[in-house]
Structure 1
Amino acid sequence: MPAQISLEALKVLDAIDRHGSFAAAAEALYRVPSAITYTVQRLEEEQNIKVFEKQGRRMVLTPVGRMLLQHGRQILQATESLAEMAQRMAHGWEAQLTIAINGIFPIELIFPLIRRFQQVQPDIHLALRYETLAGTWDCLHENRADLVIGAPGLPPEGRSYDTLPLPLMPDDAFCYVAAPGHPICELEQPVKRDALRRFTSVVIPDSSTRLPALTYGLLESQPRLFVPDVDAKLKAHLGGLGIGYLPRFRAAPHLESGELVEIQVELVRSDHSHYVAWHSSNQGRALHWFIDALREQNPYAELLTESFA
């Protein structure tokens, strides 16, 4: 089995290629030229390969040497990133922060905060994900996210959470909609529950895996069309594929244009409270940077305030 290639050998190859000669590489690495030559010869002997070959007066990389350099630079960059990551974690910065957002809220609202954060810590990985209904609490409960935005209702028992409340949604925060040509539009309003059961409801399933799932506006034995997110749900309604609730701020432009019709129904939604939430024990600096930023200027609080003023 060939001996492992040392990081020192990869650094030498990188320096020779960057600076054009063994002598220049030695100067850049603060070594004597013989040390550079010895490192290359040892690499070739241990791997039984030829890394450099002579062309006229110059030593150039062989195809094998070029491959080693290409992949070696990736390894050098990864080790450098690993060292930086270790330093950040030693000073309280997480290697990655995962933020889960309630799927009814536009994900792009958090982009300005992310842009500000990248100016502070450009090397920390950020992961955004959508969750639905109880799935927002579930992903925090099961440690799939560090911070959740728009978790509905009160937090589940069994864990200690800190929360930042968003403005309460009013009773008409959601509207029951259908495409204007849908058969439900011909019925007398408010449409009774038994009549609603005849029509397919467009549904985003609760993303919870452990906590009890939530449902709103669904009736027993009602046919359902499951879709992945609010954008797909909106398009399904516009396409006349089914009926159901949409956040009013999502539906409003299409109600105004006549592409959707609001239907009065004998159903009531009650999910008016939403929270920003995180584990009380999590003291990560990236997490608390975002918490402080959301306290200072929360785009989702502004959305709710502006949409339902």
Structure 2
Amino acid sequence: MPAQISLEALKVLDAIDRHGSFAAAAEALYRVPSAITYTVQRLEEEHDIKVFEKQGRRMVLTPVGRMLLQHGRQILEATESLAEMAQRMAHGWEAQLTIAINGIFPIELIFPLLRRFQQEQPDIHLALRYETLAGTWDCLHEGRADLVIGAPGLPPEGRSYETLPLPLMPDGAFCYVAAPDHPVCALEQPIKRDALRRFTSVVIPDSSTRLPTLTYGLVESQPRLFVPDFDAKLKAQLAGLGIGYLPRFRAAPYLASGELREIEVELVRSDHSHYVAWHSSNQGRALHWFVDALREHNPYAELLAESLA
């Protein structure tokens, strides 16, 4: 097994390339020039390679040396980042924070908060994900997210959660819609459940993997077209591929333009309560930065409050 290339050797190569000579690299690294020369010679001998070659009066990197430097810098940057992450974690900052958002809500509402956080903590990784229905609680319960926004209903049993309630969604917050040329629009309204069974419903499946799944606004034995998110659901219903509920704030522009038509149906949605939630035991500083920011200004609460107006 060949000897490993040390971080020290990679630092020396980097310094020589950045500063232009062995002597300048020695000064930058607070070493004597002979120590720099010895490190390079040992690297070449241990791996039977040539890292530098003489061109005129200058020592320049060989193709092998250039490859080592290119990949070595990535390793040096990774080790420096690792050390910084370790220091941040030692002071309570997470290496990464994952935020799950209920798919009914526009993800871009959280972007201003992300921007503020990046300005204060630029080295912490952030991950956003969409979840649907019970999948919001499930990803928190199973540790796939640190913070969820818009989890419907009450939290599951078995874990301790902290929550911030969002404003209750009114009865008209969801509207049952179809493209105007869809045959369902020709029926007398309100349309009964049995009549809806004839038409395909566009459905975003519950993303839960462990907790019991939820369904809203579906009729037994109704054909279904499964789509991955609300953007796809909206586009499918605009294309006349099916019918179903949409949040009114998403459907409103298309209702106004006539591209969608609201239908009165004998169905009731009961998912009126939604929460921002996190584990009580999670004391991460990045998590609580976002919790405090959402307490101060919650764009999702504002969106729901506007729907009540």
Q: Which TM-score band (shorter chain)?
A: over 0.9
What per-residue deviation string (whole Å, max 9, x for no partner) do you get for residues 130-185 of structure 1? 00000000000000000000000000001000000000000000000000000011
What per-residue deviation string (whole Å, max 9, x for no partner) do you get for residues 71-109 of structure 1? 000000000000000000000000000000000000000
What per-residue deviation string (whole Å, max 9, x for no partner) do you get for residues 213-264 of structure 1? 0001111110000000000000001000000000000000000000000000
Aligned partner of residue 236 in structure 2, secondary structure = helix
Partners of 1:222 and 1:75 in 2: how far apart?
55
Aligned partner of residue 3 in structure 2, secondary structure = coil
What per-residue deviation string (whole Å, max 9, x for no partner) do you get for residues 43-87 of structure 1? 000011000011111111000000000000000000000000000
Q: How many residues align?
A: 309
How far off its partner does 1:202 sit?
A: 0.2
How far off its partner does 1:295 sit?
A: 0.1
Partners of 2:54 and 2:16 in 1: how far apart?
14
Aligned partner of residue 275 in structure 2, secondary structure = strand
Aligned partner of residue 215 in structure 1, secondary structure = coil
2:290 is aligned to 290
- State the identity as a percent: 92
Aligned partner of residue 98 in structure 2, secondary structure = strand
2:71 is aligned to 71
Partners of 1:12 and 1:308 in 2: how far apart?
64
1:58 is aligned to 58
What per-residue deviation string (whole Å, max 9, x for no partner) do you get for residues 264-286 of structure 1? 00000011000000000000000
Partners of 1:69 and 1:300 in 2: how far apart?
48
Partners of 2:295 and 2:25 in 1: how far apart?
52
How far off its partner does 1:120 sit?
A: 1.1
How far off its partner does 1:307 sit?
A: 2.5
How far off its partner does 1:308 sit?
A: 2.5
Partners of 2:202 and 2:110 in 1: how far apart?
27
Unaligned segments of structure 1, at least 5 residues: none
Partners of 1:113 and 1:189 in 2: how far apart?
44
Aligned partner of residue 306 in structure 1, secondary structure = helix
1:154 is aligned to 154
Partners of 2:186 and 2:35 in 1: how far apart?
88
1:89 is aligned to 89
- Structure 1 runs of 4+ aligned residues shifted over 4 Å read none
Aligned partner of residue 172 in structure 2, secondary structure = coil
Aligned partner of residue 172 in structure 1, secondary structure = helix
Aligned partner of residue 72 in structure 2, secondary structure = helix
Aligned partner of residue 276 in structure 1, secondary structure = strand
How far off its partner does 1:290 sit?
A: 0.1
1:135 is aligned to 135
Partners of 1:186 and 1:213 in 2: how far apart?
33
TM-score after normalising by structure 2: 0.99
Partners of 2:308 and 2:110 in 1: how far apart?
20
Partners of 1:228 and 1:111 in 2: how far apart?
22
